[in-house]
């Protein structure tokens, strides 16, 4: 059951688990000019912002990134977009809906920002079949409790669509980051299907507490447990016990392509947890890598 040692080993490893493909609930595709800017940001500012260099692993064309995902047998994925300022949410959502329509394996997604027209473009996206929403509290700089967003949270909850929300303090604090802040939204909208991006890093234990209190709160694995984040966001000492009590609430996420290590490393970290505890094992892996994200995205896996 040992995890893949490199990207070439990923597809055979998935097959050995009896899975048809991976379902990645947290990766990114952006309009090309925006993608280049994000990569430049990591090049120029990661050291100042995060205290470490951030060499992008998959800095290739969109076509080549899609080819990498095919080689890795990432059969279904949620391409996530997020605005860093007002006025971008509508066109970014339109862009990603169009991207999903022309890209096999990509599910339609939407994004939100605390701005007056958010319910209008979110409503249109949900009506058009968006199956996942991205919310980035740190990059956006908005307050999840902003009254402009209250109706949007309600719409997402009513639609039963998962919102992948980056609301933790890692890798850098934002004006309104913090799981305590986001919990105020959960109190108002307790049926919200929220996926805490990066397992709420660095407050992973608090994220698990929220998953225990709110049955529709999930954690994604993005950058969790890999060597790159071990220093800034170590796993809690009771990590394996907590996973064993919430195995259906953990979903695969990776942040492909803007990660500073190979995709296989994330899978190896997850495999390491499964292997370290008899309560986890292969059933846990099948849940995290395929069944749990499929359930959230409402994929028909009967075929």
Q: Minimum CB separation from Zn ion for residue 34, in Å?
A: 14
Q: Which two tokens stand for residue 98?
A: 């169009």
| Helix (H/G/I), strand (E/B), else coil: 160 | coil
Q: Minimum CB separation from Zn ion for residue 201, in Å?
A: 11
* DSSP-derived secondary structure for 226-269: SHHHHTTSPPPTTHHHHHHH-GGGEE----TTS-SS-HHHHHHH
Question: Is residue 268 within 8 Å of 41, Cβ to Cβ?
Answer: no
Considering only residues 152 through 191, tell me which ones interact with Zn ion, judged by CB under 5 A. none
Q: Minimum CB separation from Zn ion for residue 74, in Å?
A: 15
**Closer CB to Zn ion, residue 255 or residue 291?**
255
**Closer CB to Zn ion, residue 203 or residue 255?**
255
**Closer CB to Zn ion, residue 72 or residue 223?**
223
Question: Is residue 216 within 8 Å of 181, Cβ to Cβ?
Answer: no
**Closer CB to Zn ion, residue 192 or residue 259?**
259
**Closer CB to Zn ion, residue 255 or residue 265?**
255
Which range, of 124-132, 185-193, 247-255, 280-288, touches Zn ion by CB under 5 A?
Answer: 247-255
HSE on the CB side for 7, CA within 13 Å?
14
Q: Minimum CB separation from Zn ion for residue 163, in Å?
A: 13
24 binds Zn ion (CB under 5 A): no
Rounded Cα–Cα distance for residues 187 and 31 (Å): 35
HSE on the CB side for 9, CA within 13 Å?
12
**Closer CB to Zn ion, residue 164 or residue 186?**
164
Which range, of 33-41, 255-263, 274-282, 287-295, touches Zn ion by CB under 5 A?
Answer: 255-263
Which range, of 99-107, 205-213, 253-261, 271-279, touches Zn ion by CB under 5 A?
Answer: 253-261
220 binds Zn ion (CB under 5 A): no
Q: Minimum CB separation from Zn ion for residue 222, in Å?
A: 6
Rounded Cα–Cα distance for residues 17 and 100 (Å): 28
Number of residues interacting with Zn ion: please give it, by CB under 5 A: 1
Residue among 97, 203, 205, 83 at smallest CA distance from 135: 83
Residue among 203, 199, 205 at smallest CA distance from 288: 199
Residue among 121, 129, 62, 127 at smallest CA distance from 94: 121
Q: Minimum CB separation from Zn ion for residue 25, in Å?
A: 10
Residue that is written with structure tokens 């597809």 in the block: 11
Which range, of 8-16, 46-54, 84-92, 248-256, touches Zn ion by CB under 5 A?
Answer: 248-256
Chain residue whose CB lies nearest Zn ion: 255
| Helix (H/G/I), strand (E/B), else coil: 282 | helix
Q: Minimum CB separation from Zn ion for residue 38, in Å?
A: 10
Q: Minimum CB separation from Zn ion for residue 92, in Å?
A: 14
255 binds Zn ion (CB under 5 A): yes
**Closer CB to Zn ion, residue 13 or residue 95?**
95
Q: Which residues are registered as beta bridge partners of 164?
A: 134, 195
Q: CB pairs under 8 A, 24+ apart, for 40-43?
A: 42/258
**Closer CB to Zn ion, residue 110 or residue 280?**
110
Interface residues with Zn ion (CB under 5 A) are 255
């Amino acid at each position: 059951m040992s995890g893949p040692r490199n990207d070439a080993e990923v597809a055979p490893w998935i097959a050995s688990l009896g899975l048809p493909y991976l379902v990645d609930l947290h990766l990114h595709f952006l309009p090309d000019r925006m993608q280049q800017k994000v990569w430049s940001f990591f090049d120029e500012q990661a050291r100042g912002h995060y205290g470490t260099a951030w060499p992008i692993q998959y800095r290739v064309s969109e076509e080549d990134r899609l080819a990498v995902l095919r080689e890795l047998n990432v059969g279904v994925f949620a391409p996530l977009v997020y605005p860093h300022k007002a006025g971008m949410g509508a066109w970014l959502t339109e862009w990603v809906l169009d991207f999903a329509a022309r890209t096999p394996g990509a599910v339609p997604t939407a994004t939100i920002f605390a701005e007056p027209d958010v319910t209008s473009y979110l409503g249109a996206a949900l009506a058009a079949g968006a199956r996942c929403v991205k919310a980035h509290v740190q990059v956006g700089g908005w307050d999840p409790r902003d009254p402009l967003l209250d109706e949007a949270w309600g719409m997402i909850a009513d639609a039963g669509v998962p919102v992948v929300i980056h609301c933790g303090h890692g890798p850098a604090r934002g004006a309104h980051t913090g799981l305590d802040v986001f919990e105020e939204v959960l109190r108002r909208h307790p049926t919200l299907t929220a996926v805490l991006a990066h397992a709420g890093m660095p407050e992973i234990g608090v994220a698990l507490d929220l998953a225990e209190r709110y049955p529709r709160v999930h954690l994604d694995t993005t950058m969790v447990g890999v060597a790159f984040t071990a220093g800034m966001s170590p796993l809690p000492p009771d990590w394996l016990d907590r996973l064993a009590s919430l195995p259906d609430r953990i979903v695969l996420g990776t942040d492909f392509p803007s990660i500073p290590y190979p995709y296989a490393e994330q899978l190896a970290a997850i495999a390491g947890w499964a292997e370290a505890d008899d309560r986890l094992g292969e059933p846990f892996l099948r849940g995290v890598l395929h069944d749990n994200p499929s359930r959230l995205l409402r994929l028909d896996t009967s075929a």
